[in-house]
Amino acid sequence: MGNGIVSVSKLIMKNVILFILFVFLNCQFSIAQETSEDYYIQGFLAYNKGNNELALKHYNHAIELKADYFEAYFARANVKSELGFHQQAVYDYDKAIDIKPDFVKAYNYRGYEYYILKEYKFAIQDYNKVVFLKADYPNAYVSRGDCKFMLNDLPGAETDYNKGLELKSDFAEAFFGKGNIYMKQKTFDKAAAEYTSALGINLKYHEAQNARGKAYFSQKLYKEAEKDFSEAIKLKPDFAEAWYNRANTKSAADNKPEKGCKDWTKAAELKFQAAADSMAVHCVDKKKEEKVEDKKEPAKEEKKEEKKEDKKEKKEDKATKPE
């Protein structure tokens, strides 16, 4: 009977060991089965959830397992761009393009990175490649127009904006770009009309709201300008330039600079240097001025007393001076 118990115990132990071995090998097999595509999908899911750091980690693994995985390089570049690592994003777009030379989106996105980095000529080269590969890509024309505008090629920029609108009639950014051209040419009424078109497409376009306010301000239409700046602030409360522009409008409307002080203060708090400069000129605290004046007055009186004493001393010197 004792031998039977031992035999059963050995059998149970053997089965336990076999089960543990099975689980271990199964886990190892599962880990080995994690493919580059699996990591890519995990990266995509993490990115969509806003977890950029985790997305980077997964894309790194995907690339480690598959060195020519151009989609993973492209996706990783997008994450780096969102994190503000624009030069690093360019390197990843480079790699994606090296692997797949006709990768239209990679050229388009790299062009944007060059724009952010103020490398406008390189950006234009990328957008040229985009429209060569895909002539009906409106975003590329409008983005190229933005670059030409920054290089002061206004006719070239306008041509690109018009082409973008030809391909996509409700392209708000194209109308916005045309408005910027007219602002630079000081045809403010035309600029306001283009910004209005942009806002007709996108009511939440705070940059266009602010820009139209500037166009109205330049025409001395202060009531309309203030309304636009207020709307821009409503859409984006931390829009420092809109606070600054509204302050200027309030100040200019009645020719009373002090009316802009509250908005200049807010813009200065948002690190808008021009607002701080305006405050320094127009918004000095009157109470402080009075205190400064009060301090100055006794000093003046003291100086007068000193001068009187000096005169007395000089007279006394003359009187006592030996002949």
- Summarised one tens digit per residue, pLDDT across range 30-49 is 445 689 999 999 999 999 99
Q: Supply the DSSP string of 96-156, one letter for each residue.
A: HHHH-TT-HHHHHHHHHHHHHTT-HHHHHHHHHHHHHH-TT-HHHHHHHHHHHHHTT-HHH
Q: What pLDDT is stored for residue 284 in this prediction?
A: 76
Whether residue 280 lies inside any domain: the answer is yes
Whether residue 275 lies inside any domain: the answer is yes
Is residue 265 within 8 Å of residue 234, measured between CB atoms?
Answer: no
Domain count, the chain: 1
Whether residue 182 lies inside any domain: the answer is no
Whether residue 253 lies inside any domain: the answer is yes
Q: What pLDDT is stored for residue 18 in this prediction?
A: 44
Over the range 147-173, which residues count as b (16 or more CB within 10 Å of their CB) and which as e?
bbbeeebbebbbebbbbbbebbeebbb
Structural domain of 273: 238-289
Q: What pLDDT is stored for residue 173 in this prediction?
A: 98
Q: Residue 319 to residues 138, 304, 309: CA-CA distances in angstroms?
A: 98, 23, 15
d(CA 199, CA 227): 14
Whether residue 9 lies inside any domain: the answer is no
Whether residue 200 lies inside any domain: the answer is no
Q: What pLDDT is stored for residue 285 in this prediction?
A: 65
**Residues in the chain where the model's pLDDT stays below 50:** 1-13, 15-25, 27-31, 286-287, 289-294, 311-323
Which amino acid is present at 267? A
**Closest Cα partner for 248 from 236, 234, 237, 264?**
264
**Closest Cα partner for 206 from 183, 236, 178, 180?**
236
What tokens were used for 220? 């001395």
Whether residue 118 lies inside any domain: the answer is no
